[in-house]
């Protein structure tokens, strides 16, 4: 006679006790595309206008960014923190981009008009690759999700900023590139100046 | 020319464009968090996740059929094997196994040990009724509906709830024969 259920005590494994994966696991691009598409479609039902939709996507991205920073700092940087502006920008442009999108970002530029602005650009942002925006949605950019990720990383690293995503038409190219515009808070620039 | 041989899950996964699983995991986490904030009731979130999964499943099946070269499955047993070995592999990069067949061959369990949706996840006490991976049940249900199988998909085991694996029970309710849209005598 077999006793059913005996010995099957539920083991609530604390997630912090599990070892951290090396980050090499992959899923298909289409799995991500389907998931992202549902994220956008769900949020479309929750808003009345484009600005709100972008804000919700940004908020979703923010949570991802905060976690990505924690994960990468612990796993890839041995718990060392960036304290300088160029350091954190380089971290986002190279390390964060490499982990999330498989490549470093196409470019990192300093804004010419304002001291507190920097731009990370990508010819074809992953989240925009498989999405076409209907004309009646105007300037809506799914890159708002990525802008949110960047804001989440920067904020959690101690570099608060306003981060937005913009389409920038490029000469000779059919599809515009996406620029993530980062505008740092005044306190960041003041601190940077103090550090010399 | 003979039809192309069905491709293995590994072969297809190696041939498609892939992204870092952590981006996928974290994005899914963001979705679940958004739903919890918006809907508040855990049961509502479960339903919404299932619906999202369904929406994905009805589109995912096309890609699955196109890439896998799987010919029409002879029976439900074959269907379940194909989902576990080819489907999960080509999209999520993990293999599942099929167990617990009932006598009729209409009900089985798909068991997952690796699950990219749940990395870094722990359910807080306030969410104990949440089926975190419920999107998967919707995906399977939606995909199978598009190939004329009405199923019921439920969670038997969930590692986030303390079990040792993820186990989905897939029950075939009805095989709806494909309706030919035109009557022959019109």
Which residue does chain B place closest to A99, by CA atoms?
A: B20
Shortest distance between the Cα of A45 and any Cα of chain B, in A, equals: 12
| Amino acid A91: pLDDT | 93
Which residue does chain B place closest to A96, by CA atoms?
A: B23
Task: Report if residue A34 sits inside a domain.
Answer: no
Task: Report if residue A119 sits inside a domain.
Answer: yes
Task: Report if residue A131 sits inside a domain.
Answer: yes
Chain B contacts in chain A segment 89-118 (CB below 8 A): 99-102
Q: Closest partner residue to A99 among B22, B120, B121, by Cβ? A: B22
Task: Report if residue A143 sits inside a domain.
Answer: yes
Task: Record the tokens describing residue A117, joined without a space.
Answer: 């602005």
Task: Report if residue A23 sits inside a domain.
Answer: no
Which residue does chain B place closest to A11, by CA atoms?
A: B162
Using the Cβ of A30 and the Cβ atoms of chain B, whether some distance falls under 8 Å is answered with yes
More confident residue, B168 or A137: B168
Burial status of residue B114 (CB atoms within 10 A of its CB: 0-12, 13-18, 19 or more): middle
| Amino acid A3: pLDDT | 47
Which residue range(s) make up the domain with A112?
50-195
Task: Report if residue A104 sits inside a domain.
Answer: yes
Query: Nearest 5 degrees, angle CA B87-CA B93-CA B95?
Result: 60
* B162 vs B123: CA distance, rounded Å: 10
CB contact under 8 A, B92 and A46: no
| Amino acid A155: pLDDT | 96
Backbone angles phi, psi at B78, to 5 degrees: -65, -40
Confidence of residue A31 (pLDDT cuts 50, 70, 90): very high
Shortest distance between the Cα of A72 and any Cα of chain B, in A, equals: 11
Tell me if residue B108 falls in helix, strand or coil. strand
Confidence of residue A134 (pLDDT cuts 50, 70, 90): confident
How many structural domains compose chain A? 1
More confident residue, B63 or A16: B63
- Give the rounded percent of residues in chain A with a pLDDT score beyond 70: 90
- Look at residues B173, B168, B139 and name the one whose alpha carbon lies nearest to residue B154: B168
Q: What is the mean pLDDT of residues A154-176?
A: 91
Using the Cβ of B64 and the Cβ atoms of chain A, whether some distance falls under 8 Å is answered with no
Shortest distance between the Cα of A109 and any Cα of chain B, in A, equals: 25
Map out the domains of chain B with their CATH numbers.
Answer: 9-175 (3.30.1380.20)
Task: Report if residue A40 sits inside a domain.
Answer: no
Task: Report if residue A18 sits inside a domain.
Answer: no
Task: Record the tokens describing residue B117, joined without a space.
Answer: 């949706």
- Residue A54's CATH number: 3.30.1380.20
Average pLDDT, chain A: 86
Using the Cβ of B145 and the Cβ atoms of chain A, whether some distance falls under 8 Å is answered with no
Q: What is the mean pLDDT of residues A151-155?
A: 96
Confidence of residue A6 (pLDDT cuts 50, 70, 90): very low
Q: How far is CA B26 from CA A3, A68, B104, B174, in A?
A: 40, 8, 40, 36
- Look at residues A148, A9, A137, A130 and name the one whose alpha carbon lies nearest to residue A67: A148
Whether the full predicted model's pTM is greater than 0.90, yes or no, is no
| Amino acid B108: pLDDT | 93
Which of A7, A10, A14, A34 is the mutation pick for testing B, counting most B CBs within 10 A? A34
Sequential DSSP letters for chain A: -PPTTTT-------GGGSPPP-S--EEEHHHHHHHHHHHHHHHHTT-SSHHHHHHHHHHHHHHHHHHHHHHHHHHTSTT----SHHHHHHIIIIIIHHHHHSS--SEEEE-SS-TTEEEEEESS-HHHHT----GGGTT--TTHHHHHHHHHHHHHTT--EEEEEEEE--TT-SSPEEEEEEEE-HHHHHHHHHH-
Task: Record the tokens describing residue A180, joined without a space.
Answer: 């993530």
Q: Closest partner residue to B91 among A27, A36, A99, by Cβ? A: A27
């Amino acid at each position: 006679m077999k006793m059913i259920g005996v010995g099957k005590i539920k083991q609530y494994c604390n997630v912090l006790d599990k070892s951290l994966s090396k980050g090499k696991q992959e899923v298909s691009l289409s799995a991500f595309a389907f998931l992202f598409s549902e994220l956008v479609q769900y949020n479309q039902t929750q808003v009345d206008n484009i600005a709100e939709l972008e804000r919700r996507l940004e908020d979703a991205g923010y949570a991802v960014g905060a976690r990505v920073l924690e994960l990468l700092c612990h796993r890839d940087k041995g718990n060392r923190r960036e304290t300088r502006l160029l350091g954190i920008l380089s971290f986002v442009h190279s390390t964060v981009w490499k982990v999330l999108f498989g490549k470093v970002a196409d470019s990192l530029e300093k804004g010419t008009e304002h001291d507190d602005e920097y731009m990370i650009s990508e010819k074809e942002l992953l989240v925009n690759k498989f999405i076409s925006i209907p004309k009646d949605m105007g300037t809506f950019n799914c890159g708002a999700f990525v802008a949110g990720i960047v804001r989440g990383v920067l904020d959690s690293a101690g570099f608060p900023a306003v981060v937005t995503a913009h389409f920038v038409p490029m000469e000779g190219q059919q599809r515009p590139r996406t620029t993530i515009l980062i505008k740092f808070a005044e306190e960041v620039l003041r601190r940077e100046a103090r550090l010399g | 020319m003979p039809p192309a041989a069905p491709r293995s899950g590994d072969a297809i996964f190696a041939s498609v464009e892939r992204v870092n699983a952590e981006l996928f995991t974290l994005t899914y986490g963001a979705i679940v968090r958004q739903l919890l904030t918006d809907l508040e009731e855990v049961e509502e979130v479960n339903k919404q996740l299932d619906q999202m999964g369904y929406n994905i499943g009805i589109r995912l099946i096309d890609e699955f059929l196109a890439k896998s070269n799987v010919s029409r499955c002879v029976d439900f047993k074959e269907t379940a094997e194909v989902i576990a070995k080819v489907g999960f592999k080509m999209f999520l990069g993990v293999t599942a196994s099929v167990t617990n067949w009932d006598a009729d061959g209409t009900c089985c369990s798909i068991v997952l040990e690796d699950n990219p949706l749940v990395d870094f996840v722990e359910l807080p006490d306030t969410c104990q009724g949440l089926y975190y991976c419920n999107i998967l049940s919707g995906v399977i249900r939606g995909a199978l509906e598009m190939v004329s199988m009405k199923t019921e998909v439920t969670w038997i085991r969930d590692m986030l709830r303390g079990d040792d694996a993820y186990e989905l029970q897939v029950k075939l309710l009805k095989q709806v024969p494909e309706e030919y849209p035109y009557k022959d005598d019109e």
